[in-house]
Chains A and B, each alone.
Chain A
Amino acid sequence: MIKTTHVLLLISILGIIFFNYEIKNNYHNNEKEILNLKNLISEKKQDIKLVKAELAYLSRPERIQSIAKQQLNMKEILPTDVWNINDISKLYFEKN
């Protein structure tokens, strides 16, 4: 009554079901991974934002000025320090 074809059919159905299940399982695993990565990206983006804010905090003009003055002995720019490029070249050619 049960022919070999029936048996084969049954086995192949079982195989397909198993295969299908594997695909679906993989799909869900990948989906989890994507979700993971998405969370990670948003996490990193926030980290970058935080680092940028910290950089701005550290490079605020007030702080840079006090470092430049106290640690590096730098002085304020005077108008006499600012030169027009044409004047410099004129001065150079006059000298030579």
Chain B
Amino acid sequence: MENIQKIKLKLFICSFSFLIVYFSVAFSMLMIEPKEKKIIQSNFKITEKSQKKRGNIYDDNGYLIATTIRKYDLIINPSLLRDPKKFELEFKKIFKNKINFNFKNKLSSNLKYLKLKKNISLKDYYQILKIGEPGIRLEENYIRKYPGKSLAAHIIGKVDIDGKGISGVEKKLDDKLSSSKDIYLSIDSGIQNIFKQILLEQIKKFQANAGAGIIMNANNGKIKSIISLPDYDNNINNNLLEKQVFNNATKGLYELGSTLKIFTAAMAIESGKVKDDQLIDVSSPILLSKSQKIRDIKKINFPINLPEIIVHSSNIGTAKIASSLGHNIQKKYFNLIGFNEKVGIEIIETSLPSIRDDNHPSSLMSKSYGYGIQISPLHLTKATAIALNGGKIVNPTLLKKQSTPKNSIQVFSNETSKKLRSILYLVVNDKNGTGKSAKSYYYPIGGKTGTAKKLVNGRYSETENIVAFTGGFPINKPKYVFTIVIDGPKPQKFSANRNTAGWVIAPIVGKLVNRIAPILKIEPLNYESSELDLKKYKIRGATL
């Protein structure tokens, strides 16, 4: 009996110890699992950069202007490869020799990191994993793409390799974009395209160096289009020329000549120093110094009034108006329309105007017709908007949704603004106007031409011009204002050897307005000038 008892005990101990072993094995299997899972995960999950996904940029109509696309690069660690030759063979088989990689000894070297192929698909990656070599992984990269290519390239800007904005909207609104928020711009891609084509054609026709153009809502400052030529494909980062990347429209400073007469007229009317019908003698040039004279291209032998001075674009008349106003009034209004500061817009490429600041009478007079004052086309657009929209300050913006301040400051009175609109209407629609080739038969346009001698190395060139045109449409109640600047147009046979704004820019203004106004939902008007709510000034010709 005792024997049986002993055997039972031994059996019990045996089975007990077996169970302990069994349980411990089972238990350890359960414990091993999580570790395995981690390995699987790391093989599965692609090494991801901590960088967040950057927001997209859209235009006013929801057209995608900038987006970030993920791509995978194949990375291997050659020092871990067991059979480099076999790997090379298999690798080439997968890509069917469509690789431009020079394998020479690189696979059998002691390198720890080798970018074997850029932009690889996940399907190909799994094929490569099947070769069975260790040390193969994917690296996730993000690249910024601009589907519109050169479309609004200057204002959109660029990002660096780490995806941080370095210019344009990409830089100024980097915080918003890098926190994955999308941005909607007020830019209209369609208008942008039409404007660019028209401007480019004219630049080529006149063999000019560069050009710029802006179309902006006159009341809320929303910019519909900004062009700077020459431009570039935003997807390309290499071999870009300085003049391609430079934003002429917002950063370029120019003496914009007679276009500034608008503001001299505005100051004169607003301050009440010059009446509409006050006659000013413009028959003889003004002598500033022995070498400097203020002259007019068209000599007018009889005294003329303010509207006539602007329509004929008389430098003598404008200079005389300015001298009756004085430095203080000129400075006050230049500051009010924003010539003393950078324009606050959602890009970094803006400039501070450069204005001659002395109390010499010649400074006062020359600034009145646009010499000795360098501003950007954007400054001019903003100022034109203020002059034409009823005198309210507008702040240009590139954003679709931008709250406009309710109580905007009134720079000019409504009455002054109406007088200016009436005068600018005549510049384009009167037979004596300098901008008469800008006329459209469907939309009333008003504007002012400006031709300035180009400053080359501190001296005024006798041959090179900067030509400009600024105005608004429909001029009886302006919804949009625009500015066009062309740098260095050459005289052409078809332009009677002229290279002034009236010949270079005015002809494209009517064409531009006819094409974009329907897109901007402005109804064409079968108009008679007498029906428009404008003042009727009588303009006499240069010879009576």
Q: Which listed residue (B45, B65, B67, B442) contacts A35, Cβ 8 A?
A: B45
Question: Quick one: given A79-B514, A79-B517, are A49 and B190 in contact (CB under 8 Å)?
Answer: no
| Complex Cα spacing A90 to B192, Å | 35
Are A52 and B44 closer than 8 Å at their CB atoms? no
Q: Is B40 an interface residue (CB 8 A)?
A: yes
A74 to chain B, nearest CB (A): 14
The A-contacting residues of B in range 181-207, CB under 8 angstroms, are 189-190, 192-194
Are A60 and B149 closer than 8 Å at their CB atoms? yes
Q: Is B113 an interface residue (CB 8 A)?
A: no
Are B26 and A21 closer than 8 Å at their CB atoms? yes
Are B523 and A82 closer than 8 Å at their CB atoms? yes
B residues within 8 A CB of A36? 44
| Complex Cα spacing A65 to B195, Å | 13
With both beta carbons as reference points, the residue of chain A lying nearest to B40 in the complex is identified as A32
Are B193 and A49 closer than 8 Å at their CB atoms? no
| Complex Cα spacing A59 to B62, Å | 12
| Complex Cα spacing A74 to B407, Å | 46
Q: Which listed residue (B70, B147, B442, B518) contacts A56, Cβ 8 A?
A: B147
A residues within 8 A CB of B348? none
Q: Which listed residue (B40, B147, B194) contacts A57, Cβ 8 A?
A: B147
| Complex Cα spacing A20 to B26, Å | 11
Q: Is B345 an interface residue (CB 8 A)?
A: no
Are B515 and A17 closer than 8 Å at their CB atoms? no
B31 to chain A, nearest CB (A): 11
A residues within 8 A CB of B19? 10
| Complex Cα spacing A82 to B67, Å | 35
| Complex Cα spacing A81 to B515, Å | 11
Q: Which listed residue (B33, B44, B515, B523) contacts A84, Cβ 8 A?
A: B523
Are B69 and A53 closer than 8 Å at their CB atoms? yes
B510-529 toward A: CB 8 Å interface, digit per residue (1/0)? Answer: 00001101100001100000
11 extra interface residue pairs, beta carbon distance < 8 Å, beyond A53-B69, A56-B148:
A1-B8, A2-B12, A39-B44, A49-B68, A52-B64, A56-B64, A57-B147, A62-B193, A79-B443, A79-B514, A81-B518
Residues of chain B whose beta carbon lies under 8 Å from any beta carbon of chain A: 8, 12, 19, 23, 26, 29-30, 33, 37, 40-41, 44-45, 63-65, 67-70, 122, 145, 147-149, 151, 189-190, 192-194, 440, 442-443, 514-515, 517-518, 523-524
